[in-house]
Amino acid sequence: MESKNKYSPKKIVIFASGTGSNAKKIIEYFADNPNIVVSQVFSNNIKAKVLKTAHELDVQALHFDKAAFYDTNEVLNVLADIKPDLIVLAGFLWLMPNKVLKEFPDKVINLHPALLPKYGGKGMYGNRVHEAVLANNEKETGITFHYVNEKYDEGKIIAQEKVTIEEGETLESLVKKIHALEHKHFVKVIENLLT
């Protein structure tokens, strides 16, 4: 059995479906860290900007389809070869298959753009979340980092960060606030989990 060199860096694999602004921040943040490295970006969307971003930042990127993820062990086998210390879902919209969760227990985390358990579940992502928060006249919202289980947004909460919703808050202004929170705290949560 191969032994892990105690000085080898901890490895992160990022799953993303879209633009990948959080993925970009994470890659840049750990770029010069000798102890933590983003080893690969996986995307289920061939047109996702995150794939291009990964290439530009010298991180290997992989596109996969539903069959490779759910029906075969293609994605699982690649992950098993990488042996990530943490799998980070950064705007990834598919449910993680059980076989991945079993292979990497308590090593898959997600960021949700609301204060769970509120505004979570299937179909609740991106602007849909913020629109619902505004429609319900909430006084505050925020982000939740949580472990991933077999249901959308129901895993154990790691951390939450809050923002106040101002009088006259718009979707655009709220999205900006949430992105600022994400970009500030995501890397810290990852770092805490890996050190």
pLDDT tens string 126-144: 899 999 999 999 999 999 9
With bands split at pLDDT 50, 70 and 90, how would you rate the model's confidence at 12?
very high
With bands split at pLDDT 50, 70 and 90, how would you rate the model's confidence at 1?
very low
* Per-residue tokens: 41: 């970006």
- Is residue 82 within a helix (H) or strand (E), and if so which, with residue range? helix 74-82
Domain chopping of the chain, boundaries = 10-194
CB 143 within 8 A of CB 113: yes
d(Cα 61, Cα 72) in Å, to the nearest integer?
19
* CA 150 from centre of chain: 15
142 Ramachandran zone, left/alpha/beta (phi>0; psi -120 to 50)? left
- State the pLDDT at residue 6: 62
CATH superfamily of 10-194: Formyl transferase, N-terminal domain (3.40.50.170)
Q: Which residues are catalytic?
A: 112
**Burial of 81: CB neighbours in 10 Å, binned 0-12, 13-18, 19+:** exposed
Instruction: Give residue-wise pLDDT tens across range 89-138.
Output: 999 989 999 999 999 999 999 999 999 999 999 889 889 999 999 999 99
